[in-house]
């Protein structure tokens, strides 16, 4: 019995072949990762490849209330005029650049049961 939900290759498939969302970006060792400062929250944000806009990231407007995170107003702004971070992160390994700082260990947060 032939499948009834077969469809012809269309424009949607050609977008996926061109490297748009949903396509495997390749090996992490091949990624070009750059850190820039967000113009709104002034925090370093990692950009992978040739991203044209800042990715969505959180901001904590009140430091004494860590559960009041909101989307940073700088999310989605253009990356053309942003400067790269001067600080050296360490080795150019994607796992180092994409990992959380050691101070953000979930076991040491106030809502954790571990001590």
Q: Is residue 5 part of a domain?
A: no
Beta bridge partners of 22: none
Question: Which pLDDT does position 73 carry in this prediction?
Answer: 92
Q: Is residue 20 part of a domain?
A: no
Residue 48 host element (H or E): strand 44-48
The answer to whether position 81 is within a domain reads: yes
Say how many C-beta atoms besides its own lie within 10 A of residue 54's C-beta.
Answer: 21
Tens-of-pLDDT digits for all 115 residues of the chain? 555 655 555 555 555 555 556 666 677 677 788 888 898 888 888 888 778 899 999 888 887 887 888 899 999 989 888 888 876 545 566 666 677 776 677 676 666 555 5
Containing structural domain, residue 52: 28-99
> Would you state the pLDDT for residue 71?
92
Q: Does residue 21 belong to any structural domain of this protein?
A: no
Q: How far apart are CA 26 and CA 30, in angstroms?
A: 7
Which among 95, 21, 89 has a CA at the least distance from the CA of 51?
Answer: 21
Domain count, the chain: 1
Instruction: Quote the pLDDT of residue 1.
Output: 53
Burial class (CB in 10 A: 0-12, 13-18, 19+), 45: buried
d(CA 25, CA 19) in angstroms, rounded, equals 8
Q: Is residue 33 part of a domain?
A: yes
In a domain, 66, yes or no: yes
Q: Quick one: pLDDT at residue 21?
A: 60
């Amino acid at each position: 019995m032939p499948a009834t939900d077969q469809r012809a290759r269309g424009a949607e498939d050609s977008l996926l072949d061109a490297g748009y969302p949903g396509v495997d970006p390749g090996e992490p060792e091949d990624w070009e990762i750059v850190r820039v400062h967000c113009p709104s929250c002034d925090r370093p944000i990692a950009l992978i490849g040739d991203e044209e806009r800042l990715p969505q990231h959180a901001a904590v407007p009140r430091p004494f209330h860590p559960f009041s995170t909101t989307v940073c107003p700088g999310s989605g702004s253009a990356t053309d005029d942003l400067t790269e971070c001067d600080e050296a992160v360490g080795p150019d390994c994607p796992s180092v650049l994409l990992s959380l700082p050691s101070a953000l260990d979930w076991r040491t947060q106030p809502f954790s049961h571990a001590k």
